[in-house]
Amino acid sequence: TLKSGALPRDALDRIKRFLAITGSPTEAIQQLRALAADARLDISAAIDALEARTGFMAQRGIDIAKVRFATAFGRGLDYYTGFEFELHRPDNGDEPLVAGGRYDGLLSQLGAASSIPAVGFSIWIEGLAQSSAAGQSPRGRAS
């Protein structure tokens, strides 16, 4: 769709700019606020929620400077409905040690009468054991 020219040029440029946002959560929030102002988009509630989540993590001792945020990041599973994350070793950018996120709609897709708040994650034990043996701590990536 993006390549077919079906979207107006300004909309395509905004989407590309949005998908290029990456960096620390603080940098990403600044980029998101700038995009929202330039494009006259009212997405302040979503940006405020990201900023609050980042503050929550920082208050609990997570070094936010080591976290990477990317708007183009996604786990590729359609049941996720919100925050998604991966933890990686610093020397292994593609293979996660831990990955997960929110999937509030999953149980209703499986037959529950309504959405049920849910968070889950997977841990790759072998990779985590190798990382621990090497004395490395994971770094995070989120969307």
pLDDT digits (tens, 9 = 90+) for 7-35: 888 888 899 999 999 999 999 999 999 99
Q: Which residues in the chain show pLDDT less than 50?
A: 143
Where do the structural domains in the chain lie, given as residue ranges? 1-65, 73-143
Looking at residue 110, its pLDDT comes to 86
Amino acid at 97: L
- Count Cα atoms within 13 angstroms, Cβ side, for 56: 6
CA–CA dist 63, 67 (Å, integer): 7
Cα separations in angstroms, 18 against 2, 21, 28, 83, 134: 13, 6, 10, 17, 37
Structure tokens given for 119: 């968070």
Alpha-carbon gap, residue 54 to 20, rounded angstroms: 20
